[in-house]
Amino acid sequence: MAAASLSRYRPGRITIKRSIVFVVVAGRLPQAVASAEKFNYLKQILMISLYQFRPAFGLPNASPFCMKVETYLRMAGLPYDCPRGASLTKSPKGKMPYIEDGDRRVADSSFIIDYLQQTYGDKLDAHLSERERAMALSVQRMIEEHLYWAAVYSRWVDDAGFKVSSRIFFSHMPPGLRQLVPQLARRGMKQQMHGHGMGRHSRDEIYALGCRDIAALAALLGDQAYFMGAEPSSLDATAYAFVANLIWIPIESPLREQAKQFANLEAYCQRMKARYYPA
Ligand SMILES: N[C@@H](CCC(=O)N[C@@H](CS)C(=O)NCC(=O)O)C(=O)O
């Protein structure tokens, strides 16, 4: 995914502008600069580096927050790459994702998108009224601050989900760590869920809360192409990342069953995939 990202995004106005700068700057660099160095130098100036977990589950990212930012970059037509070496310990806020743009480093998916909108402009939400923007923000918050925690439960606390998560997410680690790290991660997730409050509910209560959010999303989408109507908006970066991370992952849970019941959610994910991640 990371390597393919440079060639797959849809070129927008900003991309074209950056490409022109690339060519002009490349032409002016001294001959003495080796071409690989030149390429790396220019890439550093012109590419946004997205640091995130490695892809899993056949999705661009198994972290919905990482997939949200990658989807936004594609929707906005901004050139990016996903360098190796992303790590929670290097992340300014200890979570993924974060980006580097020149000498700017920004963490947290929402602050990243704010930064990108302020720096490169944003046509995606231009068609929304103030009221529609407020509604989109409320829906985004429901997904990220409520439904997310039910999904965390299904992956990290529920035994069936943890079995799959621990096997897939840590498969690259050496044998000893492969057993230890998932247990530590699980303990950390349980603590976070308890602090949030979601973790104090029973399994049935957590899934009931999450399922209501999913039904609300399906009702809100209705027969529209995108969450805010016929045209995509930045809310779709969040909605697609989170819904795909429910229905297209190999973890059986009441959340997945619920999401799969709504044909419009599946069709929506297919639509987003075809438009922003063409094969
Ligand atoms: N509010 C943050 C949330 C990011 C987040 O929770 N990332 C998770 C992955 S989905 C993470 O890095 N978890 C690692 C941890 O908590 O140790 C954002 O929007 O970026």
Same domain, 258 and 212: yes
Compare 131 and 12 and report the one with higher pLDDT: 131
Domain presence at residue 89: yes
Boundaries of domain holding 212: 130-276
Instruction: Name the residue among 273, 254, 251, 264 with its Cα closest to residue 216.
Output: 264
**Does the pLDDT of residue 241 top 60, yes or no?**
yes
pLDDT cut 90: percent of the chain above it: 81
Report pLDDT digits (tens) over 16-26: 556 555 555 55
Same domain, 238 and 137: yes
CATH number at 21 reads 3.40.30.10
On the CB side of 47, CA atoms within 13 Å amount to: 18
Crossing angle for the helix pair 235-247 and 254-261, nearest 10 degrees?
120
Compare 138 and 6 and report the one with higher pLDDT: 138
Same domain, 10 and 138: no
H or E stretch at 105 = strand 104-107
Predicted local distance difference test score (pLDDT) of residue 21: 59
Q: What are the start-end ranges of the H helices in the chain?
A: 5-8, 13-28, 35-46, 64-75, 109-120, 130-142, 148-152, 159-169, 175-196, 203-221, 235-247, 254-261, 263-276
| Token pair recorded at residue 62 | 């198994």
The stretch 11-33 carries a mean pLDDT of 53
The stretch 35-44 carries a mean pLDDT of 69
The stretch 55-62 carries a mean pLDDT of 95
| 254 C-beta neighbours (distance < 10 Å), count | 18
Compare 38 and 269 and report the one with higher pLDDT: 269
Is 95 in a helix, a strand, or coil?
coil
| Phi, psi of 105, deg, nearest 5 | -125, 125
Last residue of a domain, one of 85, 120, 155: 120
Predicted local distance difference test score (pLDDT) of residue 46: 81
Per-residue confidence band for 2, with pLDDT thresholds at 50, 70 and 90:
very low
The stretch 87-92 carries a mean pLDDT of 94
- Average per-residue pLDDT for the chain: 90
Same domain, 259 and 134: yes
In this structure, are residues 151 and 249 in contact, taking their beta carbons and an 8 Å threshold? Answer: no
Compare 246 and 10 and report the one with higher pLDDT: 246
Predicted local distance difference test score (pLDDT) of residue 3: 33
Same domain, 230 and 270: yes
Compare 92 and 12 and report the one with higher pLDDT: 92
User: How many angstroms separate the alpha carbon of residue 227 from the centre of ligand 1?
Assistant: 23
User: In a mutational test of the pocket of ligand 1, which residue from 54, 59, 61, 65 has the highest number of ligand atoms less than 8 Å from its CB?
Assistant: 65
Predicted local distance difference test score (pLDDT) of residue 33: 54
Domain presence at residue 73: yes
Domain presence at residue 210: yes
Domain presence at residue 135: yes
Same domain, 153 and 26: no
Same domain, 164 and 186: yes
| Token pair recorded at residue 221 | 């989408």
**Does the pLDDT of residue 50 top 70, yes or no?**
yes
In this structure, are residues 139 and 235 in contact, taking their beta carbons and an 8 Å threshold? Answer: yes
Domain presence at residue 125: no
Predicted local distance difference test score (pLDDT) of residue 240: 98
CATH number at 160 reads 1.20.1050.10
User: How many angstroms separate the alpha carbon of residue 109 from the centre of ligand 1?
Assistant: 9
Per-residue confidence band for 4, with pLDDT thresholds at 50, 70 and 90:
very low
Predicted local distance difference test score (pLDDT) of residue 140: 98
Compare 171 and 26 and report the one with higher pLDDT: 171
Per-residue confidence band for 1, with pLDDT thresholds at 50, 70 and 90:
very low
User: How many angstroms separate the alpha carbon of residue 96 from the centre of ligand 1?
Assistant: 5
The stretch 177-196 carries a mean pLDDT of 97
Number of structural domains found in the chain: 2
User: In a mutational test of the pocket of ligand 1, which residue from 68, 70, 96, 193 has the highest number of ligand atoms less than 8 Å from its CB?
Assistant: 96
Same domain, 100 and 134: no
Same domain, 116 and 134: no
Ligand 1-lining residues (CB < 6 angstroms): 63-65, 88, 95-96, 108-110, 188
Handedness of CA 97, 22, 11, 139 (dihedral sign): positive
User: How many angstroms separate the alpha carbon of residue 39 from the centre of ligand 1?
Assistant: 32
**Does the pLDDT of residue 141 top 50, yes or no?**
yes
Same domain, 221 and 259: yes
User: In a mutational test of the pocket of ligand 1, which residue from 57, 91, 95, 187 has the highest number of ligand atoms less than 8 Å from its CB?
Assistant: 95
Domain presence at residue 141: yes
On the CB side of 123, CA atoms within 13 Å amount to: 9
Predicted local distance difference test score (pLDDT) of residue 10: 39
Last residue of a domain, one of 90, 120, 150: 120
The stretch 223-237 carries a mean pLDDT of 98
Predicted local distance difference test score (pLDDT) of residue 7: 33
Same domain, 164 and 89: no
Is 79 in a helix, a strand, or coil?
coil
User: How many angstroms separate the alpha carbon of residue 170 from the centre of ligand 1?
Assistant: 17
Rg (CA), the chain: 20
User: How many angstroms separate the alpha carbon of residue 64 from the centre of ligand 1?
Assistant: 9
Last residue of a domain, one of 120, 147, 169: 120
Same domain, 55 and 113: yes
Sheet holding 48-51, edge to edge: 80-81, 48-51, 98-101, 104-107
Residue nearest (by alpha carbon) to ligand 1 atom 6:
95
Residue nearest (by alpha carbon) to ligand 1 atom 12:
95
